[in-house]
Structure 1
């Protein structure tokens, strides 16, 4: 199979520039071309301007600003010759067939033999794109439909034409999977492919039914949101995020291309209120507001639009009785005799029925449709998984009562589930009524699969230890948000002893949305409120001891984080032998935000890293200042690449782009360390002492005078400065690891008794935001 080592993207708009940035995130050089502006002094100004915007955008399209150096700007009049070195050329220009085909002719004249050309279109059929073009070009052409923003949205829909070389599809799919971290879903050449066709129908159903039933948008988002495993934005919040002005174009495109009789046509109708909002600049978060807005004239008051009157009113907190009574039962919600229950079924019954109709049309496999909605719209479960939760027989009966169509795949199911497990094998229903085994791609290992046939080696309410084969164990956090508590620490201690006796290596990993948000603050606040400070101090001491035992275990320990790894979750990574991180890992020591300092060795480990790996000027102060800057500002790395720059990850630690491949990569790294493994030598420290603390205090006081730090920030930072400067030491004294850990415990114990810290913890638990006291 050919490799893709250089890429070109033509079209430096939002999508094209974002695709180019993400290719650069993968470490692949990329050419970014656009038109020459009229009368421009710089003929490549459009592409250069796009790169400048990428560097300023939030959320950041680049995983590291250094990645921007891999993007070379140019223009389509002077620089098409640069395509001759490219293995993949992605077209991302305006959705006009004539312009695309004109560009393809120019590309074909300069590209090398075997290079692959793709379009990011989601509206024009592939057959039309290659119509009239040479057979050689059609053989190298396919559609690669990225989702916006390309860095963060994991779905990539791939569409091949009748003439497309299978090798081209395989090469692009492997590149997208391994290098770009995408979940590749093969689609047929149908309007909207899978995710947009089904997703837009779902959104349109939710909007139309809310208008027709006069449902408040807050209630609609509460109903069509978390109860279905859909992000808390719900529908109207999602439309604000995407942009209201985009939807009329997408809807019109689908309506114009879908065949007569398609269910989407029943939902396609004018929406005068939305048209008025767009005309007045209320296009969502990128405009003056959308269905929700912040009324800055009223002190940033949160408001929501009334779908009946078209006027903004104060945003209310949704309190939907049907949702509360249904609990985790989707069927109970759909059957609830209320406006909310009827709205839920009207939207989701139609959406799930439509999903079933797409089998054999947009895709032959139901798992492709489920994957498209999970990765393209962040649904926790795909539509067929939701139908399984309802029960196929129940769902078919409900469709018949509602006069909704029953798709052939539902008839083929004959009341049986779409997914089942037989002797530890995952199987999925096919259109012919038979089942086929679901096999993971090579290099993919999921803990969910291990659990189908295995029982945990050790387990309590907050964590589990699993055997993942080849002598490797996996320690999994299982508490809410994977927060860490005494049970986590206790099982980790037992796991270290168990692995030492029965395994070769340990991986710390889980398949939650966050690796760990840190210590359980609720328990800490409860203990502080009943003055159980001895219990808190015991937890800090035991955490330090267990993390230290982890660090000096006789076997290698590999941390495999994805999502947030904060506070104690970051500290456990700092004590691992190595890390294999998902690219979208957000690491930081954020304890100062709740009035504390890192107490499980985080201060000590960051000092040691900047001392040994930081390549700083000689002397005791530079590592101290670097650690102080990072910890006192609660700096969080916004990617694994940035975590390396901040030394939360070492230069030798690995990064996995595809979330599905993380556990297999971490296991492989752990096994590679087994032979001849020796735990690290304990660090020693020569720290500058009280004079350095005075300097750090003065710096924070300066920020306080400028309004950039609060009075209590100064208190917390002063406690941190004591630890990092070494307390009552001087530069000629050598401090051990245990000396610094003792300073951590003392500082932590002092802060946790303070009213300012307790106020911060309580505010964080109540609001999810730091208190600026």
Structure 2
């Protein structure tokens, strides 16, 4: 189906966020809400929501252009406009009567073949459609987005017995490709999948922490990264969502859950939480929750946490737990087997949560795959419940349940002595509810490197990178170092990958499935070299990177970089040297070297100059584009989306953007194959004209003004001076011409000077120690 116009009714946090994300997909959106009593501006609620989103961080919109696609209105004057909409999303109060009254009005204007869906997370579809006509029921479904809609990839899809299969398929495909969602089919049960299991997990963790005497820091340290959960853990997550929201979620679930549901057995009201809410501690949106920031006597901000027994506040300290250290060495099985309070906490939380999930299939979903995907995409778990069971072992979980005198779910019994997932003949399979195994199927257009790795060996590999054959004459160059940082081994294998691809293949994609594409050069390795004055090795690393990226740019075949997440420093420079880019929408790229007292040294300055000079000519001679590059690099601007990356020149107008990360590799491969037909590598730029000292004087004046107002530090001035020297062309003028190699030589010279300075060394050390830039 063709979605050309969308309406979202309900301009609260969720509704407005959903509207913003439709706009991110390039679809015009009508955002409606009620008319407040005695309001002079009848659209005040929707307009206010739009204004708030413009200031929200992280931003709901991927670009300023997307924000312009949202029009506002109200449900009294503008309901007739729904007749022109292809999809209407209802996101109003979680009250069946309020929703049904609204549906009765929508039904009067709904056009044939349009879809109406609810964003409810608690009300069954059967209740929502009571009393509605057959055409309305045919067009109705539940599409449950997760907050914030731009960033959370899960969309739970619930359909009724009358839902039109063609409309359902159209919404599923649009949500997948245009909105970038992982669409998970759910049964029409309370809380669907993610909130049903997630709410139980949170309650089990809160109970166990209090019963076993853990601090909130200890509980979050255990129920966080060791379990593959974001570092917020449990109490940090409740602070993020809002303490005051938790009782409402529990109330709605308890109103609809079966009488024998295990959640009823563990649900309890804790006085410490009631007292926190009563005192205004509603989480991060308020003055704090389980954690808060307070001022010390010297005015410094101090992080504090609440005592779960007494409710008293104390300074928050990072806990040291032997069981967590054991988990780093021996994995999750070692954690649940460790006999301290943290190990017992882990065993209790996982034992209860994983057995609960096992008892819900096929009640809430047909497969364990759907449940695992829902928890990964909706709660950002690194592993779904059944993947976690495989880590601790089904036999361990069965044994734990038996020692607790608890029943063992039938699905869990069927996994005894085996696992929920296995690889058979290179294919990933999952255990079905019937007790046999079935292959995990990917949607059409999804290609994952993880699947390729199960059936193949790398063409070439070292400790930092690997090269894979992904079919149809295309190779894939993958970073595999910690955080995908770049070093001499990366550059060596990149050179080898170019030679191999040139001899046997059509094209190459640069891609990986890490959290981040690349955080840039390996600073730890660089600092080691600096501290023992290994200047020849550092010089060789600069030259090696320049040579590798130059070979990439002028390769006789097309190279397509496919970034997702952070692509910083050298990770951004590899994008700049690729023939084309197919970026995930959530790509955050930038040349951030000034933050550690350096400048881009692997061709980043050169490529940004070439891109700026290729822009349409503007009045003012060469300085306006040059000034744009100086500002972008000198202030370490990072694009907050792939769309914004085009504005900053990190991406070109013709570069592609993929909304669904699971489709990124397939899209990049398709782009590479399309470019391969008759591909001709670019010719080196032989005429680069730069203003020389004239431009440096202008840059120095601008930076000096920033320094005088405190917006630039003394060392910022030093680094900016070196950057200005490169971008202005050194000791040249506008009548002379430079080559690409000339600009690379300038980069090399200035980088080599900076890396020896104490101010740069201090910045690198501070970044490695704290993860934050030093303002020296």
Asked if Structure 1 and Structure 2 have the same fold, meaning a TM-score greater than 0.5 normalized by the shorter chain, the answer is yes
**Band of TM-score, shorter chain:** over 0.9
Change (3 A) 1:202 1:615: farther
The whole-number CA distance in structure 2 between the counterparts of 1:615 and 1:239 is 52
Q: Does 1:772 align with 2:775?
A: yes
Q: Does 1:734 align with 2:734?
A: no
Residue 725 of structure 1 corresponds to which residue in structure 2?
728
Matches within 5 A, 1:706-717: 706-717=709-720
* More divergent stretch after superposition (42-51 vs 734-743): 42-51
The whole-number CA distance in structure 2 between the counterparts of 1:249 and 1:24 is 30
Q: CA deviation at 1:614?
A: 5.6
- Corresponding residue SS for 1:685: coil
Matches within 5 A, 1:118-129: 118-129=117-128
Q: CA deviation at 1:335?
A: 1.4
The whole-number CA distance in structure 1 between the counterparts of 2:24 and 2:279 is 37
Q: CA deviation at 1:293?
A: 1.3
Residue 697 of structure 1 corresponds to which residue in structure 2?
700
Residue 470 of structure 1 corresponds to which residue in structure 2?
472
* More divergent stretch after superposition (505-514 vs 326-335): 326-335
Q: Is the 8 A contact 2:713 2:775 kept in 1?
A: yes
Q: Is the 8 A contact 2:145 2:155 kept in 1?
A: yes
The whole-number CA distance in structure 2 between the counterparts of 1:404 and 1:487 is 53
Q: CA deviation at 1:413?
A: 2.3
Q: Does 1:568 align with 2:570?
A: yes
The whole-number CA distance in structure 1 between the counterparts of 2:165 and 2:700 is 64
Of the candidates 352, 363, 366, which is equivalent to residue 364 of structure 1?
Answer: 366
Deviations 1:137-191 (A, max 9, x none): 1111000000000000000000001111111211111110000000000000100
Q: CA deviation at 1:40?
A: 1.8
The whole-number CA distance in structure 2 between the counterparts of 1:168 and 1:214 is 52
Of the candidates 678, 681, 684, which is equivalent to residue 676 of structure 1?
Answer: 678
Q: Does 1:436 align with 2:438?
A: yes
Q: CA deviation at 1:615?
A: 5.0
The whole-number CA distance in structure 2 between the counterparts of 1:622 and 1:699 is 13
Q: CA deviation at 1:6?
A: 1.3
Residue 310 of structure 2 corresponds to which residue in structure 1?
309
Q: Which runs of 4+ in 1 moved over 6 A?
A: none
Residue 649 of structure 2 corresponds to which residue in structure 1?
647
The whole-number CA distance in structure 1 between the counterparts of 2:596 and 2:110 is 56
Q: Is the 8 A contact 1:493 1:546 kept in 2?
A: yes
Q: Is the 8 A contact 2:618 2:624 kept in 1?
A: yes
Q: Is the 8 A contact 2:372 2:385 kept in 1?
A: yes
The whole-number CA distance in structure 2 between the counterparts of 1:256 and 1:676 is 64
The whole-number CA distance in structure 1 between the counterparts of 2:17 and 2:189 is 25
* More divergent stretch after superposition (563-572 vs 402-411): 402-411
- Corresponding residue SS for 1:738: helix
Residue 234 of structure 1 corresponds to which residue in structure 2?
233
Matches within 5 A, 1:104-143: 104-143=103-142
Q: Is the 8 A contact 1:640 1:655 kept in 2?
A: yes
Deviations 1:453-508 (A, max 9, x none): 10000000000000000000000000000000110000001110110001100000
Q: CA deviation at 1:402?
A: 2.1
Q: CA deviation at 1:702?
A: 0.9
Q: CA deviation at 1:395?
A: 2.1
Deviations 1:520-540 (A, max 9, x none): 000010000000112111110
- Corresponding residue SS for 1:93: coil
Residue 515 of structure 2 corresponds to which residue in structure 1?
513
Residue 150 of structure 2 corresponds to which residue in structure 1?
151
* More divergent stretch after superposition (218-227 vs 674-683): 674-683
Q: CA deviation at 1:99?
A: 0.9
- Corresponding residue SS for 1:138: helix
- Corresponding residue SS for 1:735: coil
Q: Is the 8 A contact 2:197 2:353 kept in 1?
A: yes
The whole-number CA distance in structure 1 between the counterparts of 2:676 and 2:86 is 38
The whole-number CA distance in structure 1 between the counterparts of 2:129 and 2:176 is 25
Matches within 5 A, 1:527-676: 527-613=529-615, 616-617=618-619, 619-676=621-678
The whole-number CA distance in structure 1 between the counterparts of 2:118 and 2:506 is 47
Deviations 1:382-425 (A, max 9, x none): 11011112222222122212223311111222422111111112
Residue 760 of structure 1 corresponds to which residue in structure 2?
763
Q: Is the 8 A contact 1:118 1:143 kept in 2?
A: yes
- Corresponding residue SS for 2:734: coil
* More divergent stretch after superposition (507-516 vs 417-426): 417-426
* More divergent stretch after superposition (45-54 vs 183-192): 45-54
Residue 482 of structure 2 corresponds to which residue in structure 1?
480
Residue 244 of structure 2 corresponds to which residue in structure 1?
245
Q: Which blocks of at least 5 consecutive residues in structure 1 are unaligned?
A: none
Q: CA deviation at 1:715?
A: 0.5
Q: Is the 8 A contact 1:614 1:623 kept in 2?
A: no
The whole-number CA distance in structure 1 between the counterparts of 2:295 and 2:623 is 45
Q: Is the 8 A contact 1:557 1:578 kept in 2?
A: yes
Q: Is the 8 A contact 1:610 1:616 kept in 2?
A: no
The whole-number CA distance in structure 1 between the counterparts of 2:28 and 2:288 is 38
The whole-number CA distance in structure 2 between the counterparts of 1:296 and 1:18 is 33
The whole-number CA distance in structure 2 between the counterparts of 1:225 and 1:413 is 26
Q: CA deviation at 1:5?
A: 1.7
Residue 195 of structure 2 corresponds to which residue in structure 1?
196
- Corresponding residue SS for 1:682: coil
Deviations 1:524-583 (A, max 9, x none): 100000001121111101100110110000100000000000000000000000000000
Q: CA deviation at 1:604?
A: 0.6
Matches within 5 A, 1:273-292: 273-292=272-291
Q: Is the 8 A contact 2:10 2:16 kept in 1?
A: yes
The whole-number CA distance in structure 1 between the counterparts of 2:58 and 2:536 is 42
Q: Is the 8 A contact 1:474 1:507 kept in 2?
A: yes
Change (3 A) 1:391 1:724: same
The whole-number CA distance in structure 1 between the counterparts of 2:339 and 2:24 is 50
Matched residue count: 772
Instruction: Give the TM-score normalised by structure 1.
Output: 0.99
* More divergent stretch after superposition (446-455 vs 301-310): 301-310
Q: Is the 8 A contact 1:473 1:499 kept in 2?
A: yes
Change (3 A) 1:289 1:11: same
Q: Is the 8 A contact 1:27 1:70 kept in 2?
A: yes
Matches within 5 A, 1:35-114: 35-114=34-113
Deviations 1:658-710 (A, max 9, x none): 00000000000000000111111222311111121121111111111111110
